[in-house]
Amino acid sequence: MNIIASKSSLSGNITVPGSKSHTIRALLLATIAEGTSHIKNPLPSADCLSTAAAVPLIGSEIDLNLTTEGEPGTEWVVNGAGSNLHLPSDVVNVGDSGSLLYFLTPVAACFEGTSVFTGDASIRKRPVNHVVDALNQLGAKCFVTRPNVNGCPLVITGSIKKGGKVVTAGEISSQYISGLMFAGILTENPIKIELTNPKETPYLTMTQKWLEKVGVQCSVSSDFKHIEVTPNPSFKGFDVTIPSDWEGVAFPLIAALVSDSKITIENVDSSGTQGDDAIVSIIQSLGADVVWNKEKCTLTVAGGKFSKNGTGRLSTENCPDGELHVNISGFPDAVCALSAVACFTEGTVYIEDAAVCRRKETDRLKVLKIELSKLGAEVEEKEDSLIIHGHSPLLKDGSKNPAFKLHGAVCESYDDHRMAMSLASIGLGLPEDEKIIIKNAECCAVSFPHFYDVMNTINANYRKEV
């Protein structure tokens, strides 16, 4: 499906679905637990449904409370495997979910026998040698099936059941570190993880809080270089309401800022457990009119003529040295949204310490350079950063800025949900008579099901190409 995005003015209220990161963690821990868990407001995205299909292979039973139309309900019930948790009973196909792959492989490695993990074409390009090395350090015999290819299919034999110490590079991904933390619930002795260069640390904090929530002892040093999990395989089921997904909040947020819009995003997570909420303070430093009411859990966003200053002009002029530098290592999934809004910002934005962004659904630094350049943006790609020399559509006096050169184009999504949604957001701020056509735009279902329909309720006017 190709989607057309063009100049629009948003208005009204919107609710973003539950967090993918929280939903997948809840499903996995509910599977390990003894008894029944109730998960409310789960995200019914492709990744989360892949997880719901995979965890029964290790012993749980899941009721998605499907509607008469076959859609997942708003409360999922998990009967945990508890003491009957076992080796996966079939090959585990994780679909396109890196989270599921990296979370579940260490858990599967806690059992004697052989486990096989694979996924779609995208996931088979995701690196796994770091997982192989970590599990082998702990006593497993883990390998990939294709010589000289760093990707699934991945085979695990042997077991990490005894626990122990593992030394691994924290900059590759936080997800398999979380997987090792989950595995620490099931081992005979604690798992001690030594990280040489921790990145994406808010997600490690999220995992720690989930473990502590269910009664598992987990210590994490202040520099995140030392993590220890004490086994506790007998915790009980739980009831939880999944908070909204900040990674999803980012797209209506930036869409409103680059257009003449005023919207309120409801049910915003104010718990501080999602690192992506840093985007609010970042865009406020550019002069964005964003009000976060943490008591009401709402974000009110005004862009363009609806902003307090009547222009909504974004600029780096009040940043140190007149430049915005963002270290994105703690919340790399925000790279697409921040790059999009940088294209509408007067000044230079440096998105730094971003090498992990190359190991997501696609090499996001590379493809952002390609696609934003198609639209007329001036982008530099470095080894671990993007530099965007942006321009506001308006000068300080509110007149048109002749340096603003963004225009329409036919763009690729690369089957990357965040690329698709960032391009769709940019389209709303283009000049009249310009449009972006986003190819294979349905991939947004990975994290934000029905994104275009939901955005159309606040007048985004996205339409399918016919």
**What residue spans in the chain does CATH classification 3.65.10.10 cover?**
3-17+244-464, 20-241
Lookup: tokens for 274:
């999602």
Q: What is the pLDDT of residue 69?
A: 83
Cβ–Cβ < 8 Å for 377, 343: yes
CA distance 385 to 64: 41
Q: DSSP H helical segments within 160-221, as ranges?
A: 175-183, 201-213
The low-confidence residues of the chain, meaning pLDDT below 50, are: none
Strand partners for 409: 436
CA distance 55 to 182: 13
> Vertex 388, ends 384 and 394: CA angle to 5°?
160
The CATH class, in words, for 3-17+244-464 is alpha beta
CA distance 316 to 349: 8
Catalytic residue positions, numbered: 333
The CATH class, in words, for 20-241 is alpha beta
CA distance 164 to 184: 9
Query: How do 115-118 and 154-158 pair as beta strands?
Result: antiparallel
10 Å Cβ neighbour count for 113? 12
10 Å Cβ neighbour count for 55? 29
CA distance 79 to 97: 23
Buried-exposed string 172-202: b where 16+ CB fall within 10 A, e elsewhere: bbbbbbbbbbbbbbbbeebbbbebeebbbbb
3-state secondary structure of 426: helix
Q: Which amino acid is at 290?
A: V
CA distance 228 to 271: 24
Q: Which amino acid is at 89?
A: S
Query: How do 289-293 and 298-303 pair as beta strands?
Result: antiparallel
Beta strands in 283-374 (DSSP E): 289-293, 298-303, 314-315, 323-327, 345-352
Q: H or E stretch including 191?
A: strand 191-195
